[in-house]
Homo-oligomer: A and B are copies of this chain.
Amino acid sequence: MTVTIKELAQLCNVSEGTVDRALNDRKGISPKTKKRILKAAQELNYLPNHLARGLAKGQSFTLGVVLFDVTNPYLAQLMTAMEIKARELGYVVFPIFTHNRPENEQIAFQHFQTRRVDGIILFSVQKGEAFEQQLKEMNIPIVTIGNRISPSFPYVGINERESMRDAVQYVVDKGYEQIVYVCPPLAHRGKVNLYTLEERLAGCREVLAERALPEPIVITDRNYLLALQDMDWSSSVRHAVVCPADYYALEVLSFFKKQKIRVPEQVGIMGFDDIDMLKHINPKLCTVKYPAKEIAVTAINYLIDQINENERKHLSAMLLQHQVVEGESL
């Protein structure tokens, strides 16, 4: 039903190299010849070599991706970087969004099994023994990002606790005494896997304890702006709001602007993620930067290595560097 690159070359009366140039959009071929070859390839249902080979071996050249969603710009960046890298290596990604609901994660696994994806990038919603058992029984290579499950599943990310430690140390060094920690997803503690967010909060608590400062006021309310509204921002104790996502930090910043509470004079703000959009925001938000693109690329590379059973030490975690980004909000 499909033709090989050799047959395609014969039929078009050109060399295999020329066919390759046409198919891979490389230089050194006239537009006319290229058009002729592409037309023939399409008519004859040509499949690129690696795909044909993979199909013969039972590979689908599809990678399942389990992600929360893409409305958070950080996740959109991560998604895009993974997709580009996978495409470069001949794989298509099949993202399924969980919106942080375990049942959606289960549906994703069902689809990935039915569609026989070769590997899975997993930003997990669930955790625990039964879940790990299920993952192992699927018998599909898995690389986790965003949320760790356990050392049995390779993880690509940053040192979450350290990153928030550094952020809070920076805040405290600026003279802020009371941290208000805004993190609505923590309301789901116990129900979903919140490894990353729990590690970050632990990092915050550690630093405050070490510095003999009061415990953070932790807001996990969905309507966190309402909670902020009830607080006394004219107190002589210097307050800073720390958010483990720029997404929330920007909402807090806009809220303070609207309330005519001056940032950073009356209250400081610390974000996390260093999303692209920050370049358009005044005052410039202090945040924590980490290489989202490199996380994506490392995860895809490692997953494909596992699929191809390349010789490689079985890694438990690949942690990349983070960095506090100075701004005008502290």
Do A97 and B71 contact each other (CB < 8 Å), given the known contacts A42-B134, A106-B42, A281-B281? Answer: no
B-side contacts of A16, CB under 8 Å: none
Q: What separation, in Å, do the CA atoms of A97 and B94 have in the docked complex?
A: 11
What distance in Å separates the Cβ of A281 from its nearest Cβ neighbour in chain B?
Answer: 6
What distance in Å separates the Cβ of A20 from its nearest Cβ neighbour in chain B?
Answer: 14
Do A76 and B70 contact each other (CB < 8 Å), given the known contacts A115-B115, A277-B277? Answer: yes
The residue of chain B having its C-beta at the shortest distance from the C-beta of A84 within the complex is B99
Task: Please classify the interface of chain A as helix (H, G, I), strand (E, B), loop, or mixed, using the class held by over half of its residues.
Answer: helix
Q: What separation, in Å, do the CA atoms of A115 and B99 have in the docked complex?
A: 25
Whether A129 is near chain B, meaning CB under 8 Å from some CB there, is no
From B79, B87, B115, B253, give the contact of A70 (CB < 8 A).
Answer: B79
Query: For chain A, which range describes its interface: under 10, 10 to 19, 20 to 34, or 35 or more residues?
Result: 35 or more
What distance in Å separates the Cβ of A94 from its nearest Cβ neighbour in chain B?
Answer: 6
Whether A316 is near chain B, meaning CB under 8 Å from some CB there, is no
A172-213, CB < 8 A from B: none
Q: What separation, in Å, do the CA atoms of A277 and B71 have in the docked complex?
A: 11
Query: Do A87 and B103 touch across chains, with their CB atoms under 8 A apart?
Result: no
Whether A104 is near chain B, meaning CB under 8 Å from some CB there, is yes
Q: What separation, in Å, do the CA atoms of A139 and B84 have in the docked complex?
A: 29
28 residue pairs of the A-B complex, CB under 8 angstroms, read A25-B103, A42-B106, A47-B110, A62-B111, A62-B115, A69-B80, A70-B70, A70-B80, A71-B76, A71-B276, A73-B76, A76-B76, A80-B97, A83-B97, A87-B104, A92-B107, A94-B94, A95-B95, A250-B277, A250-B280, A253-B280, A254-B279, A254-B280, A257-B282, A277-B280, A280-B281, A281-B281, A282-B282
| A residues apposed to B, CB below 8 Å | 25, 42, 47, 62, 69-71, 73, 76-77, 79-80, 83-84, 87, 92, 94-97, 99, 103-104, 106-107, 110-111, 115, 134, 250-251, 253-254, 257, 276-277, 279-282
7 more A-B residue pairs beyond the given contacts A25-B103, A253-B280, with a C-beta to C-beta distance below 8 A? A69-B80, A71-B76, A73-B277, A94-B94, A277-B280, A280-B281, A281-B281
